[in-house]
Structure 1
Amino acid sequence: MSTDLRQFRRVVLKVGSSLLVDRARGRLNHAWLAALAEDIADLHAKGADVLVVSSGAIAMGRTVLGLPSGPLRLEESQAAAAVGQITLARTWSEVLAHHGITAGQILVTLADTEQRRRYLNARATTLKLLEMRAVPVINENDTVATSEIRYGDNDRLAARVATMIGADLLVLFSDIDGLYTAPPASDPNAEHIPVVDRITPAIEAMAGGAASELSRGGMRTKVEAGKIATAGGTHMIIADGRTKNPLKRVAEGGRCTWFLTPSNPATARKTWIAGALEPRGTLYVDEGAERALHGGASLLPVGVRRIEGAFRRGDAVIIRSESRVLGRGLVAYDAEDAARIIGRPSREIERLLGYPGRTEMVHRDDMALSD
Structure 2
Amino acid sequence: MVACLNDAKRIVIKIGSALLVDAVTGAPRVDWLKGLTEDVAMLRAEGKEVILVSSGSIALGRRMLGITGPLSLEQSQAAAAVGQIRLSAAYEAALQPLPCAQVLLTLHDSENRRRYLNLRNTFKALLDLGVVPIVNENDTVATDEIRYGDNDRLAAQVAAMAGADVCILLSDVDGLYTANPNLDPEARHLPVVREITDEIAAMAGEGVSGVSKGGMITKILAARTATAAGCALVIALGHQSPIRALRSGARSTWFMPKDDPHSARKRWINAMKPRGVITIDDGAARALGRGSSLLPAGVTAISGEFGRGEPVRVEDQRGNLVTYGLTNYAATEATLIMGLQSDEVAGTLGYAGRTALVHRDDMAM
Normalising by structure 1, what TM-score? 0.94
Matched with 1:284 is: 279
Count of residues in correspondence between the two structures: 364
Maintained 8 Å contact 1:155/1:217: yes
List alignment gaps of at least 5 residues for structure 2: none
Q: Which residue of 2 aligns with 1:21?
A: 21
Which residue is 2:137 aligned to? Answer: 140
Matches of 1:216 and 1:64 in 2, distance apart? 20
Partners in 1 of 2:126 and 2:6 — Cα distance?
20
Segment drifting more, 113-122 vs 259-268: 113-122
Identity over the aligned pairs, expressed in percent? Answer: 51
Does structure 1 residue 357 correspond to structure 2 residue 353?
A: yes
Partner Cα distance (1:3, 1:30) in 2: 30
Q: Secondary structure at the match of 1:28?
A: coil
The answer to whether 1:311 aligns with 2:306 is: yes
Q: Which amino acid aligns with 1:105?
A: Q
Partner of 2:48: 48
Output one character per residue of 1:284-309: Cα deviation in whole Å (capped at 9) or x when no partner. 11111111111100011111112112
User: Which position in structure 1 is the counterpart of 2:110?
Assistant: 113
Contact 2:314–2:325 (8 Å) recurs in 1 = yes
Counterpart amino acid of 1:160?
Q
Q: 1:42 to 1:203 in 2, by over 3 A?
A: same
Q: Name 1:169's counterpart in structure 2.
A: 166
Distance 1:286 1:79 in 2: 56
User: What is the aligned counterpart of 1:264 among 225, 249, 260?
Assistant: 260
Q: What is the aligned partner in structure 2 of residue 320 from structure 1?
A: 315
Question: What SS does structure 1 have at the residue aligned with 2:52?
Answer: strand
| Residue 122 (structure 2) aligns with | 125
In structure 2, do the counterparts of structure 1 residues 352 and 149 end up closer, same or farther at CA, with 3 Å as the change threshold? closer
| 2:220 corresponds to 1:217 | no
Deviations 1:174-198 (A, max 9, x none): 1000000011222222111111011
Please name the residue that 1:178 is paired with: 175
Of the candidates 190, 200, 207, which is equivalent to residue 203 of structure 1? 200
Q: Which residue of 1 aligns with 2:63?
A: 63
In structure 2, relative to structure 1, the CA distance for the partners of 1:93 and 1:52 (3 Å cut) is: same
Deviates more, 1:203-212 or 1:220-229: 203-212
After superposition, the Cα gap between the structure-2 partners of 1:367 and 1:105, relative to the gap in structure 1 and judged at 3 Å, is same
Work out whether residues 15 and 170 of structure 2, in 8 Å CA contact, stay in contact via their aligned partners in 1.
Answer: yes
Distance 1:361 1:41, change over 3 A: same
Q: Is the 8 A contact 1:109 1:148 kept in 2?
A: no
Q: Distance in 2 between matches of 1:183 and 1:244?
A: 24
Residue pair 1:287, 1:321 contacting (<8 A) in 2 also:
yes
Pairwise CA RMSD: 1.6
Q: Is the 8 Å Cα contact of residues 170 and 229 (structure 1) preserved in structure 2?
A: yes
Contact persistence 2:148–2:154 (CA under 8 A): no
Which amino acid is the alignment partner of residue 104 of structure 2?
L
Measure the CA separation in 1 of the matches of 2:306 and 2:273: 11
Distance 1:349 1:174 in 2: 48
The verdict on how the C-alpha distance between 1:318 and 1:150 changes in structure 2, with shifts beyond 3 A counting, is closer
Counterpart contact for 2:107–2:148, Cα < 8 Å? no
CA contact (8 A) 1:210 1:216 kept: no
Pair 1:238 & 2:210 matched = no
Counterpart residue identity of residue 342, structure 1: M
How far apart in 2 are the matches of 1:272 and 1:115? 17
- In the TM superposition, residue 44 of structure 1 has moved relative to its aligned partner by 1.0
Report the AA paired with residue 43 of structure 1: L
Question: How far 1:164 sits from its partner (Å)?
Answer: 1.2
